[in-house]
Structures are given as C-alpha cells and as structure tokens.
Amino acid sequence: MSPWSLPKILAGLHDDIERRLATARGALSHPGTKGDASEHVWLELLQTYLPRRYHAEKAHVVDSNGEFSQQIDVLVFDRQYSPFIFRYEGQIIVPAESVYAAFEAKQVIDAGQIDYAQKKVASVRRLHRTSLPIPHAGGVYPPKPPGHILGGILTLESEWKPALDEPLLRALSTKPDGRLDLGCVAAHGMFACDAEGRYTITPQGKPATAFLLELIARLQTSATVPMIDVRAYARFLG
C-alpha cells in the first residue's frame, strides 16, 4: 500500500494557506504590511499551482484605447500568447486581452469589501479587448469573441455570523457588471456562481484547495484568450 495519501496532501495545502493567512493577520500590526502579506499568500498559491500558461501578479490592466483598470490584487493572465507585459519599479501593467481572472484579497469578507471587490472587477471587465482572425494551416479562423473575465474575492475570515449565509448572498447580488464568480473565505468555506447567476455556498471543508481546483477547472473551460491586435496599441507611439 502506498505511503502517500491524496486526501492528506489536499488538506495539507489548505491548512498551510489558512495558517499563513492567520499568521499575517495576527502577527503583523501595520494594515498595509498585513494586506501585502495576505496578497502574497494568495499570489504564491496561484503562481505555484496554476499551469504554466497562466501567470498571477498584482497588476493594472490597460486597453488599446489607453484606459486603465484599478489595481488588482491577484490578476490571472496569459503568458503564452500575449506579447507584452510592462514592468517598472515593481509595477506591472498587462493588456486587457490577456486577462483571465481578477481577485481582490482582503483580511475579512463583509458587504463593504464585496462592494469594493465588485468595483475592482468591473474596472477590468469594462476595458476594450481586441480580437484578430487566427491564421492556421488550412486558412483563417474568425476572430474569437473575448470570453468572460472571472472575478472574485479571497479572504481569511467573515464578519457575518453565520459566516456564509443570506447576508453574503444579498451582498453578492448588488452589481451585475462586477459579479463575483468565485470567493474563498479560508476559515469558513467558499462560494461559486454559475453562468445563470446562481450562487452555491460550500461551508467548511478545505476551502483554499477547493477554490484552487475550481479556478483551474473554470480556466480550462475558458480555453485561450483572443489574438491581440498589437497594432492597436502601437498607435500610441506617435
């Protein structure tokens, strides 16, 4: 019999994330430092376990009209087909066409933080995304319509009691353009929204691991980002 245990491996991944988030919240006193540490925990999780075609960073998003999103704590974007990522003094800017998902990372979840996360996600979804025809050996495929950008919130705890119940669902239903598709409250559970806008709450379990696997599954179904029109960005050169 194998000495390995898949349930223990998956549980251990969640336990490590919850422990690190709790340490960041309890041991660090400065709010900014505490927030940065929490963001780093989530970013490291995705940077370690997402397939290599995806990348996760704290970043801004820009479109070919020169419009920018708000800063996104955890942005998941393409690195295989997107031609440029701008980095300067720790700041990262990626083209709108490359974005798969945008998450806000906070210490706790409540109505105010959900509203804040919805506005952040909406600032990404409102950006213009180009899409070119795709050449192949037998001809040309038509331009691929830009897909739905996943949005969500990642936290350690909930301000509500019970932690994940009707108040959470009421808060989630307020902004259609900033709909949060996935959320993880590491100490309590996770939520997910289907294509029809129906939410499912999964309490307890191992939420961080469950969130990671659900995100990967949704990224698989979203396929590849559109073929970016690089010349649309080049026009800003003068």
Q: Which residues are annotated as catalytic?
A: 73, 104, 106
Distance CA 190, CA 100 (A): 20
Q: What proportions of the chain, in percent to the nearest 5, are helix, strand and coil?
A: 40, 25, 35
What contacts 32, CB < 8 A, 6 or more positions away? Answer: none
With tokens 């996104």, the residue in question is 72
* Beta pairing, strands 199-203 & 189-193: antiparallel
Distance CA 190, CA 170 (A): 16
Q: What DSSP character marks residue 138?
A: T
